[in-house]
Amino acid sequence: MSPSEAGKPATQWSAVVLGGGDPGDPFAAAHGVPVKALIELNGEPMALHVLRALRASGCVSRVAYVGPTTPAMDALIDGRVTDHGTLLSNLEAGVEALTASGLAPGERVLVVTGDIPLVTAVQLAELLDAAPGNAALVYPVVRREDCERAFPGVRRTYARVREGSFTGGNVFLLDPRLIGQFLPRLREVLDARKAPLKLAALIGPGVLLRLLTRRLTVPELEARVSALLGVPARALITPHAAIGTDVDQDADLRLAQAYLEAPAPRQAPES
């Protein structure tokens, strides 16, 4: 039984998988591949694990893949898009490819990076089922305790707000009709992320101070991001640590390998 068959019927989504990257990425180069999504894990590219999870979720009708592929990956995608070199350019190109091939009225797009090989079909189905329908941009986040419970010793960057410490996911959901409204502003924010004064001016010094002093709440942050991007934006708290666990270095690769090689938990017999 597919994940979508286990509960109520799942909404069909189209997906963009971001498998491109910097051609000078030393991590990819050390493993003899042009981009890290093609680094082998259990003898197969990392991104192939992601594609299988998407297809097995029962929620995804079409997949556009941005970046280089292998024949095994090509069998699981509906269209390959040339790598444009940056995250947002690749995002834009992938969504444009889906739009050109025809999206259903009101259909939203799931965006996934190709470097989260531990994500499962069930986790993706549950995430999509929980997604709020009234936002142009939905960004999943994972509590620190959930990350450390699932993957002891994993190293992630966390932001602390009043409700706790969270790491960002490597998945987000968007309304493709509104991408032209928020993408320029999002690009401006990302360009300013290493310039504290410029970033403070964009976010607002009061909001930044509340974030730094751990007094900011998730609803307050959502409201500020929505105002900044000009579209409704929501955070989605998910317990699935694999969504926030990407592979950026050899230590991450070893962790992923260990978990994929571990025997599956035995299920109790049905009564």
Q: Residue 178: inside a domain, yes or no?
A: yes
Number of other CB atoms surrounding residue 184 within 10 Å: 12
User: Crossing angle of helices 196-203/179-191, nearest 10°?
Assistant: 140
Q: What integer pLDDT is reported at residue 13 of this predicted model?
A: 93
Token look-up 């998730």 returns 218
Q: How many CA atoms lie within 13 A of 229 on its CB side?
A: 24
Give exposure, 56-76, as e/b (b: 16+ Cβ within 10 Å): bbbbbebbbbbbbbeeebeeb
List the CATH number of the domain containing 154. 3.90.550.10
Domain presence at residue 266: no
On whether residue 225 sits in a domain, the answer given is yes
What is the tens place of the pLDDT at every residue in 109-153? Answer: 999 999 999 999 999 999 999 999 889 999 999 999 999 999 998
Question: How much is the pLDDT for 35?
Answer: 94
Which tokens go with 59? 């929620």
Could you tell me the pLDDT band of residue 211, with boundaries at 50, 70 and 90?
confident
Domain around 249: 10-260
Contact 154, 160 (CB under 8 A): no
- What CA–CA distance (Å, rounded) separates 211 from 165? 11
Please classify residue 180 by burial: count the beta carbons closer than 10 Å to its beta carbon, then call 0-12 exposed, 13-18 middle and 19+ buried.
exposed
Of the candidate ranges 13-17, 120-124, 177-181, the one whose mean pLDDT is the lowest: 177-181
| Mean predicted confidence (pLDDT) in 234-247 | 95
Per the domain annotation, does 31 fall within a domain?
Answer: yes
Q: Does residue 83 lie within any of the structural domains?
A: yes
pLDDT of 265 higher than 60: no
Cα–Cα dist 44/60, whole Å: 22
Q: Is residue 208 part of a domain?
A: yes
Handedness of CA 55, 59, 61, 62 (dihedral sign): negative
- Distance between CA 3 and CA 20 in Å, rounded? 28
Residue 4 has pLDDT above 80, yes or no: no
Segment 144-157, tens digit of pLDDT: 999 999 999 888 88
What's the whole-number mean pLDDT along residues 23-41? 92
The better pLDDT of the pair 68, 214 is held by 68
Q: How many domains does the chain have?
A: 1
In a domain, 267, yes or no: no
In a domain, 119, yes or no: yes
- The mean pLDDT of the chain is 88
Closest CA relative to residue 64, chosen from 119, 125, 110, 6:
110
